[in-house]
Amino acid sequence: MKDGIKIVTIGGGSSYTPELMDGFIKRYHELPVREIWLVDVENGKDKVEIDAAMARRMWEKAGYDVKIYTTLNRREALTNADFVTTQFRVGFLEARIKDERIPSYYGMLGQETNGAGGIFKAFRTIPVILDIVEDMKELCPNAWLINFTNPSGMITEAVVKYGKWDKVVGLCNVPVIAMMKEPIAIGYDAKELVYQFVGINHFHWHKVYDKQGKNITQKVIDAMFEGKDIGLPANIANVPFFKEQVEQMQMIPCGYHRYYYRSQEMLEHSLEEYKTIGTRGQQVKETEERLFKLYEDPDLDTKPEELSLRGGAYYSDAACECINSIYNDKKTHMVVSTKNRGTVPELPEDCVVEISSVITAKGPMPIAWGKLPSAQRGWLQCMKAMEECTIEAAITGNYGLALEAFILNPLIPSGKNAKEVLDELLIAHEKYLPQFKDKIEKLKMNGVTIRDKVVFDLVKEGK
């Protein structure tokens, strides 16, 4: 890093790239970036070029001399990288749409990172991230991997446990947004509050304390039930929690807990969208197309407002802040996916949790939470076991384990339909699941077919 930092962004053709640029530009005075490599695959070539052109305009306007490169050759980019950020999406939005629609066809939740969809996103992504890690070991062994590809927790755990790579941080925007919105909702300055988060990605709780160290979590609970905005991500339907439950636990659940605490309503909402306006992935696809239209405008040289509607707002900003905190040993409090190390003593010591951490020059130093109440403990243990089955199945291609993950997943009612969803998803994603090749062959010979019309067409078109 002698003469400035080299950043490599895998999935550089993402619609988030301008936010990432914006984040680096804002921090340039303390984070001297020298060059940024946007890496993508053949199918993402057009978008990565649009992003790169947009990025160059943004940097130029900011008045800093930072080089933007694009490449389809990941290894070329990784050589001597200082930080590698990952925001790629194996199979593009078409894959997400399959993840959402196939379960929906069977009356189950179709969601990007939860239920069957989340498991399959892990199946497609884990082999790729492990390849990236192998390249990093060879080409940039001192670099940090800053992952914000979802499901961020499982990806990070795969990197740590199977990739044997410790210099990784998993990021999520959900805690970021909570810590932005909640203070406003309860009339405090964010700087006056002490936050402590515990859990796993998309499945965490937190408590809030004021300047005198007083637990004021109840104030946030009150605000939540008064309908104030406490930071629900744009992609999650606003079904209220049960007040008696939240007051009993005295912790603030994250937005995604709705899927588990109000399954009935969340399912109804999801199926309604499936049957009418299309799943979230289909909606996002349109948003993305609009965004890239904007990015193509040669006069646009700042991050457009529309980007914040995209769902993943602040994700890229969190990545920049994390890099900044590592580079400058800022000891910022961030909530990241990192190795447990005992912070949640009832989970395996070497699994990955999403936890309040101090981000230092040596990476995240996680703050121990200690024992959890029975309910939260049980939920976390169940979800972590489901994640472990998923990760192991993603690596081995073991169908029995994939089935175990499905059956253990609280959002997939077990039984005949669950198995059909599993089988259809395997076939639908065949191109990205080489580890399950043999099983997929057999399923096809046994005549498993895709019943959802939209997905059927996507597969037929080879998407």
3-state SS class at 1: coil
> Using the rule CB under 8 A, which residue among 105, 356, 435, 455 binds a copy of itself?
356
Largest CA distance in the chain: 67
- Would residue 315 show up in a list of annotated catalytic residues for this protein? no
Q: Which stretch binds a copy of itself (CB under 8 A): 56-64, 73-81, 145-153, 395-403?
A: 395-403
Footprint on residues 298-337 left by a copy of itself (CB under 8 A)? 326, 329, 331, 333
Rule CB under 8 A: say whether 345 interacts with a copy of itself.
Answer: yes
Nearest distance in Å: CB 323, a copy of itself: 12
Q: Which of 416, 460, 461, 462 binds a copy of itself (CB under 8 A)?
A: 416
Give me the long-range contacts of 420-425 (CB less than 8 A, separation at least 24).
Answer: 420/106, 420/448, 421/102, 421/103, 421/106, 421/108, 421/116, 422/116, 423/448, 424/102, 424/448, 424/449, 424/450, 424/451, 424/455, 425/98, 425/99, 425/102, 425/116, 425/120
Q: In angstroms, rounded to a whole number, what is the distance separating the alpha carbons of residues 204 and 255?
A: 9
Min dist CB 349 to a copy of itself, Å, is: 5
Identify the residue among 219, 285, 330, 341 touching a copy of itself (CB under 8 A).
341
Closest approach of a copy of itself to the CB of residue 329, in Å:
6
Number of residues that bind a copy of itself (CB under 8 A): 82
Interatomic CA distance for residues 380 and 203, integer angstroms = 8
Neighbours of 61 (CB within 10 A): 11
- 141, 227, 370, 434: which one binds a copy of itself (CB under 8 A): 370
Task: Scan residues 211-250 and list those touching a copy of itself (CB under 8 A).
Answer: 211-213, 215, 242, 244-245, 247-249
HSE-CB at 412 with a 13 A cutoff on CA atoms is 33
Q: How far apart are CA 226 and CA 143, in angstroms?
A: 46
156 binds a copy of itself (CB under 8 A): no
Residue 448 found at the interface with a copy of itself (CB under 8 A):
no
Q: How many CB atoms lie within 10 A of CB 30?
A: 10
Chain centroid to CA 169: 12
Of residues 171-210, those binding a copy of itself (CB under 8 A): 192, 194, 196, 209-210
Q: Which of 195, 256, 315, 399 is catalytic?
A: 256
Has 202 been labeled as part of a binding site? Answer: yes
Backbone phi and psi for residue 446, each to the nearest 5 degrees, phi listed first: -80, 5
In the region spanning residues 241 to 300, those forming contacts with a copy of itself, defined by CB under 8 A, are: 242, 244-245, 247-249, 260-267
**Distances in whole angstroms, Cα of residue 101 to Cα of each of 202, 295, 461:** 21, 29, 16
Is residue 446 close enough to count as binding a copy of itself by CB under 8 A?
A: no
Report the catalytic residues: 256
Residue ranges for the known binding site for substrate are 96, 150
